[in-house]
Amino acid sequence: MPTTIMNGREIPVDAEGFLTDPSAWDEDLATVLAANIGIELTDEHWKVLRFLREDYATQGETATTRRVQSVGGVPTKTQFQLFPKKPAKKMAYIAGLPKPRGCV
């Protein structure tokens, strides 16, 4: 399994660079992951990221943009503003989770 060095640690990732072990993630690392893709985290970003982490812990799956709206309470439009163009994948990447597998 490939790994990459971030924040002075060796982090297991897949071929694209998504974390493969959610437990390797912490909030400091999220800041590094966000900076990697040009995003500076604000409180609004953190609301999404914390929802994704909590939802993954109970559901075992990464929430889709639909779920982040309907369960997490963050409107679709806001998600696109916070994580431009590809919100589902960017949110998952920064939250240290796999890409969502749901279609909607």
Partner 1 sequence: MSEPLIPQFDDDTDDGERMLAIICSKGNLDMAYPGLILGNAALGEGVNTHLFFTFWGFDMIVKSRMNNLQFSPAGNTALHLPMKDMRLPQAFAPAMTGPATSMLKKQLAELDIPEVPDFLDQIVAAGGHLWACRLSADMGKLGESDLRDDVEGIISASDFIEMTKGAQLLFI
Give Cβ neighbours of residue 90 (< 8 Å, ≥ 6 apart): 37, 39, 83, 84
User: Quick one: which of 49, 47, 74, 73 has its CA closest to 62?
Assistant: 49
89 binds partner 1 (CB under 8 A): yes
65 binds partner 1 (CB under 8 A): yes
Figure out which of the listed residues 17, 31, 47, 98 binds partner 1, where binding follows CB under 8 A. 17
75 binds partner 1 (CB under 8 A): yes
Smallest separation, CB 31 to partner 1 (Å): 14
Figure out which of the listed residues 24, 31, 41, 69 binds partner 1, where binding follows CB under 8 A. 69
User: Quick one: which of 81, 78, 72 has its CA closest to 100?
Assistant: 72
